[in-house]
Structure 1
Amino acid sequence: MKRSTDRLLALAMLIVGIACIARLYPVLGGKPLATTRLEVFGVTGALSVLAGLLFLAGLLPAAARHDPAAPLFGRDAEIAPAGHPWLRRAALALPLLALLAIVGDQFGPWRTQDSEPVNRVATAPVEPKLAPEPEVSAKPTMPGASARPTTPTPAQQEAAKPAPPVQPAVAPAPPIPPTPAVVAPVEPGPVQPAPPVQQTALAPATPQTVAPPPPAPAARPTAPEGHRDAVVWLAVSADGREIMSASTDRMIKLWDIDGKRLIRDLGEHKDMARVALFMPGGKTALTAGDDGEIVLRQLADGTVLHVFASGQNGGVRDLAISSDGKLAVSGHDTGSVIVWDLAKGQVLHVLPGHDWSVSSVAVSPDGTRAISGSIDGELKLWDIAAGRQLRSWHGHDRGAYGAVFTADGHHAVTGSGDYTIKLWDLDTFKEVRRFDGHSGTVYALALSSDGKRLGSVSLDGTARIWNMDTGAEIAEFDPGTGPIYSVAFAADGTLLTGGIDRTIRDWPAAGGDGKVLFAGAPE
């Protein structure tokens, strides 16, 4: 029984001792004790822990113990005192002293002076701080000003393409370059003057210096008759004297190259205009857009002669016509390819072969076959007279754009969202040559009249001319104006381009600086 009591006392000593040391712990860590009372506090706790350990180990003498030779029961039984009682009393007093120290520390009169032990370390006085000077903006804000918003570019649309588990990941529909959006203007109102700042300076204030604003970029040339948004298509007339352009501003325009002037606005689509083609004979044009309409127009005055409506097949993403002008092939955002009989003004075949939006089409020189590409990189070859698919193959890792046939009709060239340009043998469906160099989606291609040079434009903002026989790059052009969407060769062999900056530029065939042929409209 006594031994159990000793162990309980030892446990109480340990608890009290640990509590004392825990109270002291925050001021330890290699630093001197904060106050004298904490020093005593720590020593008391340490002694309590020591006494408790000694009790547990049985090293301190017990109050009394049984004599092994004495009987346990009966009259002769006796308790024989042993040990040193004063040592035991001293050990038992240690927890009481520790408890008194805790009570004194928590509720003593000094508690109101500092509620927690702190290190009494002298610190340098803090210098008073000057009141901050009011900041001056280098660019004042004008009421009612707003930035011109843009719609997603073709590169951003491709980045968001779906990736189903059973179907290859694809880019979304080909570019819809920036279209102006309506932004609610900020209502101008009286400007309240800022309240004066009272400032007490302890020392002369250092004047603030503001770096001069960077020089404004050189103003781009503009013309009131120019396109109001990105130029996404260019076509040159058979005689080389006129250019037809289509834009995301929905307008089709006809230009005089030699006279460097706008001949007329041929007409406007209900949605973004995508394609504008000269018909054989040079008197009419065929245009198409996202409104799903293919419109036959008269070049002389823009009169609409016929409208081919694609209906549920959706917007027209690309359009090509046969060399004799009898057939046209259109690719749609629903994945359909439609063959049109232009002479009869009706649909000849609807070919629902693509799983994703069609991004390019081209018709062979003899008018018997067509190639189409979609935004998942799939390429298909069609017999357009019979309305049947001849072959399908995965040509690119991302969308296929700008398809063109070579003069022999047995080869085709395609650009892509995987930044490559590939030359295909349409008899073996093998890749013959690759043109590498662009760092963005290759969006449009054009062949020179002799078939020896290939022109390409890209969302990386550059245009390039390639040697068709070797795949070598002949020239690179970088106007520094952003993505370029359209390309064509002029009659003299120079390269024409149109892009997001709304201008039509002319680049020398051998390389060098280009010039703005037709400027865009002011913003």
Structure 2
Amino acid sequence: MNRFTDRLLAVLLLAVGVLCLTRVYFVLGGEGAGDAFASVRLAFFGVAGIVSALAALLFWAGLLSGRSKPGPAAPLFGRGAETQPGGRPRLRKLFAVVPFLAVLALVADQFGPWPERPNAGKDLTAEQPVPNAPKGEDVASAPASAPEVPAASGPPEAAVAPEAAVAPPEQAVPASTPNAMAGPSLPSGNGDQSGDGDGQTVDSGAGVEQVQPPNTPLAPASPTEVALAPPVSSPEAAPAPAPTPQTVAPLPPAPPPQPTQPDGHRDAVVWLAVASGGHSILSASTDHTIKLWDVDGKRLIRTLGTHKDMARTALFMPDGTRALTAGDDGEIVLRQVSDGAVLHVFSSGQNGGVNKLAISPDGKRAVSGHDTGRVIVWDIEKGSVLHVLTKHDWSISGVAVSPDGTRAVSGSIDGTLKLWDIDTGKQLRSWRGHEHGPYGVVFMADGHHLITGSGDYTIKLWDLDTGREVRRLEGHSGTVYALALSADGKRLLSGSLDGTARLWDMETGNETALFDSQSGPVYAVAFAADGTMLTGGYDRAIRDWPAAGGDGVVLFAGAPE
């Protein structure tokens, strides 16, 4: 908003504050001062007046500016998720809403149904009129004993008060309430006047009973009154109600317990990588650990390493003997697969945590995307930085290296995609590919087409030579967070925060299989050597799914909670 609008809001808020504080003055000045109702009003309007006045000062001084510009979707977890665009939109809304509620309260307080002066301390029963009393008489002038009145004629039910004769409607029984009974509320007792300690009745002089509250003393009744009010005790008048059947809905069956294993991940699995031979898997987790699994023996080989913060990526080097891992601590670590020994640590320093990492096919280069929006090209052989690319304005959500190792693509959470020349660090192309961040980015085998999955729930195929969208795959109902392309390039596996993984035919764009984890978001996907699908996600487990779709099995379970 501009400066003029803020000044106008300041004037309006100051007016609301003055009205609230004026209302406080009247409450203190005698509108029921000293009672509980007035105390609540005093507290509410006092706070509302002070907040409105404070908001007026802040708006006038320009300290409640709005968001500097529309921000993109935030990262899903990690330090980048805490980064917010400039401005104070939430505080601005709070200070704007509170005075609005105060105005509604002022209107309700002025025209509401409650009395202006609560009758604290009075005997309210003394103000109730006496049935059949002459006009102008009050309770104090009524005789101590009522005049003799003939008994009511008609069936015994006529002597029951209307409030008791009409049963309240049935109350809905929540399905989750055990042993709850549904049915009408019936008046207690058999309708006589003797009472049993739970309440007494007295003839009002008009043939209608009035129920006296429990433990309330009655005025002495004359002998005539007792004689002329016969008890209503006929069995036909109050038949015993039939027993009401229980209406408790049966509880749904409890979900089967998820398997666990002591050496499993203790938090979400966010990355999976399969070795070239298919016999082992690397997994990275937000529990800071990198684990190496034996697929054939279905066991943990070892915890390969630990990062100081969330682990994001774990990749096998092309030689299969080393692995490159990265995390939110800003370190990229080259490790020996055989024993987890650290061979080299690449530190990103002020460039921030590593969100995503990719390796060139020859293993000589690595490209990392950081939460500061920087993209770094590393020389793995020399252990040094080749380029720091600074064209992105927002945190990097995905990176990929072309099959020939000459180009790289990076995507940021504002939906922008950039194509780079790895050797020179030159930007070759930039375009807005999605409404939200492309978290999954993968090259096609020809190197001229790119696949991206995004926070706008779509998967897109791009022609990198023209920057044109070739095909769009739709079906997910949540952020598409991970993509994996089969070795022959004909099938694409996607994982989403909607809790599903989906298999796509890249020639037709059709979805061929759906895998529903029913256990939370899917953060990682991969193709196993035998053609099955692997997923990892929120439930800490690594699952194996048949290629044709259907139920999966837990290949490696998470640790007990």
Confirm or deny a common fold (TM above 0.5).
yes
Q: Which residue of 1 aligns with 2:507?
A: 469
- What is the SS of the residue equivalent to 1:240? coil
Is 1:226 the counterpart of 2:264? The answer is yes
Cα distance in 2 for residues equivalent to 1:466 and 1:391: 27
Deviation at 1:311, TM superposition (A): 1.1
Q: Which residue of 2 aligns with 1:364?
A: 402
Q: Which residue of 2 aligns with 1:312?
A: 350
Deviation per CA, 1:156-200, whole angstroms, max 9, x where unpaired?
Answer: xxxxxxxxxxxxxxxxxxxxxxxxxxxxxxxxxxxxxxxxxxx95
- Bigger CA radius of gyration: 1
Is 1:270 the counterpart of 2:308? The answer is yes
Unpaired runs of 5+ residues, structure 1, are 1-107, 116-121, 130-134, 140-198
Instruction: Specify whether residues 398 and 264 from structure 1 end up closer, same or farther in structure 2 by C-alpha distance, changes over 3 A only.
Output: same
AA at the equivalent of 2:161? A
TM-score (norm 1): 0.62
Is 1:486 the counterpart of 2:515? The answer is no
Is 1:439 the counterpart of 2:481? The answer is no
Kept in 2: contact 1:138–1:213 (CA 8 A): no
Kept in 2: contact 1:397–1:418 (CA 8 A): yes
Q: Which residue of 1 aligns with 2:341?
A: 303
Q: Which residue of 2 aligns with 1:430?
A: 468
Deviation at 1:221, TM superposition (A): 1.1
Is 1:239 the counterpart of 2:265? The answer is no
- Further displaced range: 440-449 or 199-208: 199-208
Q: Which residue of 1 aligns with 2:430?
A: 392
Q: Which residue of 1 aligns with 2:540?
A: 502
- What is the SS of the residue equivalent to 2:350? helix
AA at the equivalent of 1:341? D
Cα distance in 1 for residues equivalent to 2:250 and 2:360: 59
Is 1:454 the counterpart of 2:482? The answer is no
Cα distance in 2 for residues equivalent to 1:507 and 1:210: 39
Is 1:418 the counterpart of 2:463? The answer is no
- What is the SS of the residue equivalent to 2:302? strand
The 5 A counterparts of 1:156-171 are none
Deviation per CA, 1:429-451, whole angstroms, max 9, x where unpaired?
Answer: 11111111111111100010111
Cα distance in 1 for residues equivalent to 2:253 and 2:439: 38
Is 1:332 the counterpart of 2:370? The answer is yes
Instruction: State the Cα RMSD in Å.
Output: 3.1
Q: Which residue of 2 aligns with 1:153?
A: none
2:359 counterpart (305, 321, 343):
321
Deviation at 1:513, TM superposition (A): 2.2
Cα distance in 2 for residues equivalent to 1:212 and 1:466: 40
Is 1:379 the counterpart of 2:417? The answer is yes
Deviation at 1:222, TM superposition (A): 1.1
Cα distance in 2 for residues equivalent to 1:200 and 1:208: 27
Q: Which residue of 1 aligns with 2:552?
A: 514
AA at the equivalent of 2:492? L
Deviation per CA, 1:69-110, whole angstroms, max 9, x where unpaired?
Answer: xxxxxxxxxxxxxxxxxxxxxxxxxxxxxxxxxxxxxxx994
Deviation at 1:215, TM superposition (A): 2.6
Deviation at 1:521, TM superposition (A): 1.0
AA at the equivalent of 1:317? N
- What is the SS of the residue equivalent to 2:376? strand
After TM superposition, the runs of 4+ consecutive aligned structure 1 residues lying more than 6 A away are: 201-209
AA at the equivalent of 2:297? G
Is 1:289 the counterpart of 2:355? The answer is no
- What is the SS of the residue equivalent to 1:312? helix
Deviation at 1:127, TM superposition (A): 4.0
Deviation at 1:206, TM superposition (A): 7.8
AA at the equivalent of 2:270? V
Q: Which residue of 1 aligns with 2:161?
A: 124
Cα distance in 2 for residues equivalent to 1:110 and 1:474: 87
- What is the SS of the residue equivalent to 2:266? coil
Equivalent pairs, count: 350
Cα distance in 2 for residues equivalent to 1:513 and 1:110: 83
Cα distance in 2 for residues equivalent to 1:356 and 1:487: 25
Deviation per CA, 1:370-426, whole angstroms, max 9, x where unpaired?
Answer: 001111110000011101111100000111111001111111100001111011111
AA at the equivalent of 1:124? A
Deviation at 1:312, TM superposition (A): 1.1
Deviation at 1:126, TM superposition (A): 4.5
Unpaired runs of 5+ residues, structure 2, are 1-133, 142-158, 168-173, 179-196, 201-239
Deviation at 1:510, TM superposition (A): 2.2
Deviation at 1:507, TM superposition (A): 1.1
Deviation per CA, 1:333-369, whole angstroms, max 9, x where unpaired?
Answer: 1100001111111111110111111000000111110
Deviation at 1:114, TM superposition (A): 9.1
Cα distance in 2 for residues equivalent to 1:429 and 1:352: 21
TM-score (norm 2): 0.58
Cα distance in 2 for residues equivalent to 1:407 and 1:114: 101
Deviation at 1:225, TM superposition (A): 1.3
The percent identity for this pair of structures is 73
Cα distance in 2 for residues equivalent to 1:262 and 1:325: 26
Cα distance in 2 for residues equivalent to 1:511 and 1:229: 26
- What is the SS of the residue equivalent to 2:281? strand
AA at the equivalent of 1:312? Q
Deviation at 1:112, TM superposition (A): 4.3
The 5 A counterparts of 1:132-211 are none
- What is the SS of the residue equivalent to 1:216? coil
Deviation at 1:505, TM superposition (A): 0.9
- What is the SS of the residue equivalent to 1:317? strand
